[in-house]
Copies of this chain bind each other. A is one copy, B any other.
Amino acid sequence: MNSPPLTQGNVALARLPRRERDNLRQRGEILDTALMLFAEKGYHKVSMQQIAKQAEFGVGTIYKFFANKQDLYRVLIMGTAEKWQRAVFQVLEQERNPFRAIQDYIAVQSELFFDNLPVVRLYYSEIKGAYFNVRSGFDQDLLKLRDERIKKLASVFEIGIKESIFRDLDPYHMALALHGIIDAFLYRMMEDPTRFRERDELSYAAEIFLGGVIKK
């Protein structure tokens, strides 16, 4: 048994047989509870019993929806990661101007960040870098998404270079650098998310990345 992709919140569970709808709702409740607990205490410090109790289901019920503890975790992370990926790709594919595409890309990260704060928190506290180690297979999925994202970014840079908008540097490196800067800023924002609400903190990241730090 391997769980189907995450189904949370904004999914259209509109016109489905009631049974199906109930199932989906239960699944969602379990995921929300698990997310909360994992983020709070860490994967290994949360037991299935705790999740079940907090979610007000029997443990058995969790196993209806998820093959095992790790699967539950995977769905939690991968679900958000894929949603994130889709949003990012959409932005990059919509805006034909490379410069504005990069700006939009940066901007959308902020939105996604605040929309998914709990998962982000979980991600940074346990996943960042293959939590389940190399042989879990699941971290590989995550790395693949990251790679696709960076490559997509690189392709935008490539166009921008051809159009003489960007300097003639290795596009992949540019993408990687952008990725790193955003990552560092998001981590910082996560440590104290309230502080950053006023002005979009990532705009600083954009400024530095795009303009460089040396005075001309």
Contacts known (A128-B128, A169-B204); A209 close to B213, Cβ less than 8 A:
yes
Given A180-B181, A180-B182, A207 and B128 contact (CB-CB distance below 8 Å): no
- Chain B residues within an 8 Å CB radius of A131: 42, 125-126
A residues contacting the other copy or chain, number (CB 8 A): 52
Stretch at the interface among A22-30, A86-94, A105-113, A171-179: A171-179
Residue A67 at the chain B interface, CB threshold 8 Å: no
Describe A's contact surface by its main secondary structure.
helix
With an 8 A cutoff between CB atoms, is A184 at the interface?
yes
Q: How far is the CB of A216 from chain B (nearest CB, A)?
A: 6
In the bound complex, residues from chain B placing their C-beta under 8 Å from that of A164 are 215
Whether A197 sits at the interface, judged by CB under 8 Å, is no
**A166 lies within 8 A of chain B by Cβ:** yes
A181 and B177 form a contact (CB under 8 A): yes
Query: Can you sample 9 A-B contacts with CB below 8 Å?
Result: A40-B133, A41-B133, A125-B133, A126-B129, A165-B215, A169-B213, A177-B208, A179-B184, A212-B213
Interface residues of A (CB under 8 A from B): 40-42, 44-45, 99, 123-135, 157, 164-170, 173-174, 176-177, 179-185, 187-188, 204-205, 207-216
